[in-house]
């Protein structure tokens, strides 16, 4: 499991290492995860249900939304949970969780789980879903992120590079930002090489210059951005700087995209499947390349429109039950992706296999200059701050090289002055003086992938 020795935090002791409290806890989790990945699916499910029993008891006692839901359906939590009982728990749609607002919060979070820290799905468009993180959910997030590094045998001495979303002003081109180590996931436990990051709002030319200068060993970015970068390098007739591995995050990686990225960089691509609300859902198998559900973190179901479990090979809605979030429990929550299970993996791990995920795809913003950009749509709450009007849903549609449409689901339509303020905001965010047209529909439907899309281009693929 470990290619290198952890850092020892005790003076004079180098080998075997004695980690500090945080390091020891993370290593203890890896020790268990190393074993549990090989358990049979039945044994894994037994332990999931044991953990679920604790979560359900807590939710029924302290979370108003679940107290009401279980009450309405006459659900009594049994001593032992089995699959039959689990499936009697009603599915919670994104909309139901959104409408629940504070009723999804526990009124009595165990103090040792730490303080609640609120995130909001930036599903930006999406109606925001309110969910909290705690010290416990953070601990598990770090553990599964580290498992991904260990599974894929990454050399921590190498240089890590990331081109991803940051707020305006952070890691901006041309220089980006640099750190002496790999950050919170790895650096507290292992000696690492440096890392560098660049805001994905950079143009493709700036990204390529940055890659040439920084020469990272490992590169992390969004599939849509990597495909655009590969196409740009090809069009310019220039070679992409070599990397040891590319890691994709944040969007669904399609088969065609994977092939394009692999061909352009002549290296393997490793994808992860996460969601903001529950962290790591699946990691790519280091042997077969299939996706293994992180069953120690989440119960992941795939169901058809009637809520019936889909057999391997049949596409359905993904439901997740996040096993350790006691602050805002998510139980049989429809996360908004479609996926299909695969057959057991040849590697011998008992962790369930997902063959394909159909989730978020992202279009790029096309500029009249012929360049394309990762669309920067601002931060959650920008429009509300500019106008004082609460935004329920948001979508930006590019109709032409001159015009974008803002679809806003609001408490009330914006007046002319408010529209002018939001137009100026969007022009700043998009980095080009597009004509901004407004529409105020009652609802914005999901895109073809099943996700709410915050940016749609009608002129790019
Ligand atoms: Zn496998």
The sign of the torsion formed by the CA atoms of 259, 264, 267, 270 equals negative
**Cα 83 to averaged position of ligand 1 atoms, centre (Å):** 24
CA of 259 to the centre of ligand 1 (A): 20
- What's residue 273's pLDDT? 95
pLDDT of residue 94: 84
Strands 391-398 and 245-248, bridge-based pairing: unpaired
Q: What is the DSSP letter of 88?
A: T
CA 436 / ligand 1 centre spacing (Å):
48
Which residues in the chain come in under a pLDDT of 50? 123-126, 461
The alpha carbon of 195 and the centre of ligand 1 are apart by a number of angstroms equal to 29
Which pLDDT score, from 0 to 100, does residue 110 have?
Answer: 96
Domains, the chain, ranges and CATH?
A: 37-155+217-359 (3.40.50.12780), 365-457 (3.30.300)
pLDDT, residue 128, reads: 65
Interval 48-69: pLDDT, tens: 999 999 999 999 999 999 999 9
Q: Do residues 216 and 161 touch, judged by C-beta distance below 8 A? A: yes
**Ligand 1 center to 211 CA (angstroms):** 32
Q: How close is the Cα of 439 to the center of ligand 1, in Å?
A: 47
Task: Give me the pLDDT at residue 129, please.
Answer: 76
pLDDT value, residue 451: 63
Long-range contacts at 424-430 (CB < 8 A, ≥ 24 apart)? 425/378, 425/382, 425/383, 425/386, 426/378, 426/396, 429/168, 429/376, 429/377, 429/378, 429/382, 430/365, 430/373, 430/375, 430/376, 430/377, 430/396, 430/404
Please tell me the distance between residue 45's alpha carbon and the centre of ligand 1 in angstroms.
17
Distance 228 CA to ligand 1 centre (A): 30
What distance in Å separates the CA atoms of residue 347 and residue 401, rounded to the nearest whole number?
A: 49
Distance 349 CA to ligand 1 centre (A): 6
Ligand 1 center to residue 285 CA distance, Å? 4
- 351 CA → ligand 1 middle, Å: 8
Q: How far is the CA of 275 from the centre of ligand 1 (A)?
A: 21
Tokens of 20: 């500090």
How many angstroms is it from 304 CA to the middle of ligand 1?
Answer: 25
Long-range contacts, stretch 403-407, CB < 8 angstroms, 24+ apart: 403/434, 403/435, 403/436, 403/437, 404/430, 404/434, 404/435, 404/436, 404/437, 405/436, 405/437, 405/438, 405/439, 406/436, 406/437, 406/438, 406/439, 407/439, 407/440, 407/441, 407/444
Query: What was the pLDDT predicted at 126?
Result: 46
Question: What digits encode the pLDDT tens for the residues 79-111?
Answer: 999 999 999 999 998 889 988 989 999 999 999
Distance 296 CA to ligand 1 centre (A): 15
Alpha carbon of 353 to ligand 1 centroid (Å):
8
CA end-to-end distance (rounded Å), the chain: 41
How much distance in Å is there from the Cα of 37 to the middle of ligand 1? Answer: 9
Q: In what order do the strands lie in the sheet with 245-248?
A: 177-179, 195-199, 160-164, 218-221, 245-248, 269-275, 279-284, 291-293, 353-358, 333-341, 316-322, 298-303
Q: Residue for token digits 């022009």? A: 427
Q: How far is the CA of 149 from the centre of ligand 1 (A)?
A: 15
pLDDT of residue 381: 79
pLDDT score at 460: 59
């Amino acid at each position: 499991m470990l290619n290198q020795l952890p850092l020892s935090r005790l003076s004079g002791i180098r080998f075997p290492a004695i980690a500090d409290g945080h390091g020891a806890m993370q290593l203890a989790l890896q020790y268990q995860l190393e074993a549990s990945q090989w358990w049979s699916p039945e044994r894994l499910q037994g332990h999931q249900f044991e953990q679920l029993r604790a979560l359900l008891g807590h939710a029924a006692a302290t979370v108003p939304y679940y107290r009401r839901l279980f009450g309405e359906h006459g659900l009594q939590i049994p001593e032992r949970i089995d699959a039959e009982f689990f499936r009697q728990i009603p599915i919670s749609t994104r909309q139901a969780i959104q409408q629940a607002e504070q009723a999804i919060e526990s009124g009595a979070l165990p103090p040792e789980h730490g303080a609640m820290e609120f995130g909001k799905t930036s599903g930006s468009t999406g109606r925001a879903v309110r969910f909290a993180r705690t010290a416990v959910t953070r601990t598990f997030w770090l553990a599964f992120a580290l498992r991904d590094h260990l599974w894929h045998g990454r050399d921590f001495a190498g240089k890590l590079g990331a081109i991803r979303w940051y707020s305006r002003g952070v890691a901006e081109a041309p220089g980006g930002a640099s750190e002496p180590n790999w950050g919170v996931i790895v650096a507290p436990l292992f000696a690492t090489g440096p890392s560098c990051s660049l805001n994905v709002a950079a143009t493709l030319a700036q990204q390529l210059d940055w890659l040439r200068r920084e020469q990272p060993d490992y590169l992390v970015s969004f599939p849509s951005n990597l495909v655009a970068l590969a196409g740009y390098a090809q069009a310019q007739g220039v070679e992409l700087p070599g990397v040891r591995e590319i890691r994709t995050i944040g969007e669904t990686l399609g088969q065609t995209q994977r092939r394009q990225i692999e061909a352009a960089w002549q290296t393997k691509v490793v994808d992860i499947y996460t969601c903001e609300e529950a962290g790591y859902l699946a990691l790519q198998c280091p042997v077969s390349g299939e996706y293994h559900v992180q069953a120690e973190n989440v119960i992941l179901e795939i169901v058809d429109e009637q809520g019936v479990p889909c057999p391997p090979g049949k596409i359905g809605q993904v439901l997740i039950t996040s096993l350790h979030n006691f602050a805002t429990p998510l139980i049989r929550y429809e996360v908004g992706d479609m996926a299909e299970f695969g057959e057991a993996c040849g590697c011998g791990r008992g962790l369930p296999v997902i063959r394909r995920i159909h989730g978020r795809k992202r279009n790029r913003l096309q500029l009249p200059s012929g360049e394309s950009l990762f669309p920067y749509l601002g931060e959650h709450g920008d429009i509300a701050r500019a106008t004082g009007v609460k935004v329920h849903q948001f979508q930006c549609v590019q109709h032409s090289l001159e015009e974008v449409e803002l679809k806003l689901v609001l408490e009330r339509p914006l007046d002319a002055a408010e529209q002018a303020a939001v137009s100026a905001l969007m022009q700043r965010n998009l980095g080009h003086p597009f004509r901004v047209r407004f529409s105020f529909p009652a609802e914005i439907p999901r895109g073809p992938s099943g996700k709410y899309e915050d940016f749609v281009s009608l002129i790019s693929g």
